[in-house]
Amino acid sequence: MAIDRIHDLQQVYRKIVHSMSRPGTISTIKQQTKNVDVDFGCTDALILSAMALLDAEVTFHVIAKNRTDLIGKISEYTSARFASVQEADFIIVLKDDKEIDILEAMIQCKIGNLIDPHQSATWIIESADLVNEGPLQLTGPGIRTEDYLQTGQSNQFWQTRDSRIKEYPMGIDLIFADKAAQIACIPRSVSAIPMEVK
């Protein structure tokens, strides 16, 4: 069965909005991934998140080199245009991407400005299995006191992300998608601190 561009993608969009308003909350889109009948070369949760958010009005960048197949499919399914990392509205990160490439892209991507902070990059990241425990402590709007999340990202990733959100409301928003069809979001307004493992 093919993806229902109205029903399935609306449901995915709602889950993303829910997770963005409740940072660290893990939402499942397993039901919607059952309808993915094309191999995109990435997790179904990542591609459905991209399809729910991208359209002809936005641009995207895929960090992975030599993934013209994925770039072509995303453009075909969403009508979004590929752009440089400095100009892209959405940055797509695959699980096998090198950390040095991810960090370099994070330093270069747009974070908006004080007049238009929304003109920043939203990252859609293929992650390790998402669980509400682990080394990342989340605090901020939408979180009662604190929450914890495991995404598989390194301390260097979080330090670089922290450097890009210091001038709030400018910054970047993160959407994580795992192979179990789960998504979790960390908006720029939330502090994400890697805790030491004891």
Q: What is residue 157's predicted lDDT score, i.e. its pLDDT?
A: 98
In a domain, 2, yes or no: no
Are 32 and 12 in contact, with CB atoms under 8 Å apart? Answer: yes
In a domain, 192, yes or no: no
* Residues above pLDDT 70, as percent of the chain: 98
Q: What is residue 170's predicted lDDT score, i.e. its pLDDT?
A: 98
Residue position matching structure tokens 């859609």? 124
* Residues above pLDDT 90, as percent of the chain: 88
Q: Which domain holds residue 31?
A: 7-187
CATH number of the domain that residue 76 is part of: 3.40.50.11310
What average pLDDT does range 28-34 have in this prediction? Answer: 94
- What type of residue is 172? I
In a domain, 19, yes or no: yes
What average pLDDT does range 110-122 have in this prediction? Answer: 97
What average pLDDT does range 152-161 have in this prediction? Answer: 97
In a domain, 76, yes or no: yes
The total number of structural domains that make up the chain:
1
pLDDT, mean over the chain? 95
Closest residue by Cα to residue 64 from 104, 109, 98: 98
In a domain, 141, yes or no: yes
Whether the per-residue pLDDT at 116 is higher than 80: the answer is yes
In a domain, 195, yes or no: no
Partners of 135 in the beta sheet?
none
Q: What is the pTM of this model?
A: 0.96
> What is the C-alpha separation between 139 and 29, in angstroms, rounded?
25
